[in-house]
Chain A
């Protein structure tokens, strides 16, 4: 089916009753023809489907700036279809598909292919990210303009997984994308300081005899990049910030008024490098899990807005790439289906963010950074009906076997996490209802 369904008169209409819109009072929401038609108490309208949303919170559809959908090339780990199904189950209505596929998304052809697969899936909008350099090699700029001008309309460029470490290439990329309001999303990792790196460098790495990934390797690149962005007057986005020191540099850059944004992953808001003591590669991720002091600094920065967005860095891997020795295991964790629960636990239940703040960090701001005009909109009449119904009172144990993603590499297996996505609407079409994916045939 086509993700675009607006305006067709065959669309199912919904009346959501007694939902709490963000932190406000309970109201009814009428969805028809892809739009929010009415909001009020005791709405007297006819709808095809009534949903009793008592106890549920309504958020705008979540937007992920950082998702690995793996297609093309690693369909054994994830496909655009399974990845967008996982996204829908996690409450997302748009995801940015990272460029490190096989082949790399460094041409108009590849980004258009990913974009088209997203259109066909219908579960979630897929906005391809283009590579900054050819083959992610950091040597030669990819055809950034061609990717922007393609049907995929790429605005976010990243060599994620690798750092654009050459200062001249980074400067040029930042300058070049100004022509079409693009942004360079940097994976900040000084390569020489992280040769052989296996985990955060600190107390635990020393004891475990695993190669260290020092915080300075991230912070040094961020410091350089914010100065470059200021110098050329461009937009910089910092991927998966993981250290307290990085937060300080970004805070400083923002105080200067520079156009710098940043994201943090759910796992860096919850987990620490102490977990690596098990040598279980499910905890192996890049950037690595850091210390408790870093976790607390990241939460604070997300709360005060220094960090703009939560981004999942959803990184599916097949079982054999994790069922092995730490040193040879792949880096990354799946995260789409647990993101909102982790944010509830770390930010909402701790009093650091209200639901309004969650909407800002997981929908409004990421949509603005990615320049997605139809997403991150307020929950109000006339807006596209991109919505999540979330049950914050739900308590459950994470069971990877229930995931929609094709991979199972979650660090939360067996952990009790709060909250559950009850329903997700993409332009008025339910992609998830009662916590379950709506079958493809049922999407209208």
Chain B
């Protein structure tokens, strides 16, 4: 039996971009406003899960040919990598640093190693959530 899910698919097409944008916004907003790596990652993951719900696995996989286990592993590598990276600058493990720079056009901007760390968190969350949902739904 084929379920008619035209409405879901149509809405998904429009809404996925909004969710994805929200995810990226939340990720970068995290430093000064609500948001951050974990929430950003969760929102991104929920957008991908929505795609999987609306379309079948093969179609989504064509558009996003990632192995999400590797995405998660990359995330952990980034998070632990920034932690170990601080050792090379002769500061204790996991020391984070930041700098405020005046960039033309954008004005004062903050750059921080926390961002890399949080990117690791976000990637892990995306990778793990999608891996779990995919492996359960594909299970025969």
Q: Do the two chains bind?
A: no
Residues in chain B within 8 A of chain A (CB atoms): none
Residues in chain A within 8 A of chain B (CB atoms): none
